[in-house]
């Protein structure tokens, strides 16, 4: 029983985010506006807004600061 609960080394954090959503998070961490993120990724600003909402939902957060904080802590 003890072996079952014993730590087994560092656990890999798996992200629920798609690759595009991760790129948007990078833009947020870089301090870019939604418009600049859209330009960087060659997508519309509406797509960025839609994906941001999806990111918030998937990460159970309510704002950009929380997303950035999770990213900087390596939780994404």
Domain ranges of the chain: 19-72
Report residue 69's pLDDT band, with 50, 70 and 90 as the boundaries: very high
Query: Phi/psi of residue 8, each to 5°?
Result: -115, 35
Residue 39's CB is within 10 A of a number of other CB atoms, namely 14
CATH class of 19-72: mainly alpha
pTM over 0.85: no
18-62 pLDDT per residue, tens: 999 999 999 999 999 999 999 999 999 999 999 999 999 999 999
Give the per-residue pLDDT at 15: 79
Which residues, at least 6 apart from 73, have a Cβ–Cβ distance to it below 8 Å?
A: none
Helix (H, G, I), strand (E, B) or coil at 14: coil
Q: Which two tokens stand for residue 45?
A: 């600003």
Q: Which two tokens stand for residue 47?
A: 């797509």
């Amino acid at each position: 029983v003890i072996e079952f609960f014993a730590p087994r080394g560092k656990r890999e954090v798996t992200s629920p985010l798609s690759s595009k959503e991760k790129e948007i998070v990078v833009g947020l961490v870089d301090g870019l506006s939604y418009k600049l993120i859209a330009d960087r990724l060659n997508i519309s600003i509406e797509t960025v807004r839609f994906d941001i909402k999806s990111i918030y939902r998937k990460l159970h957060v309510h704002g950009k600061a929380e997303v950035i904080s999770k990213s900087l802590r390596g939780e994404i």
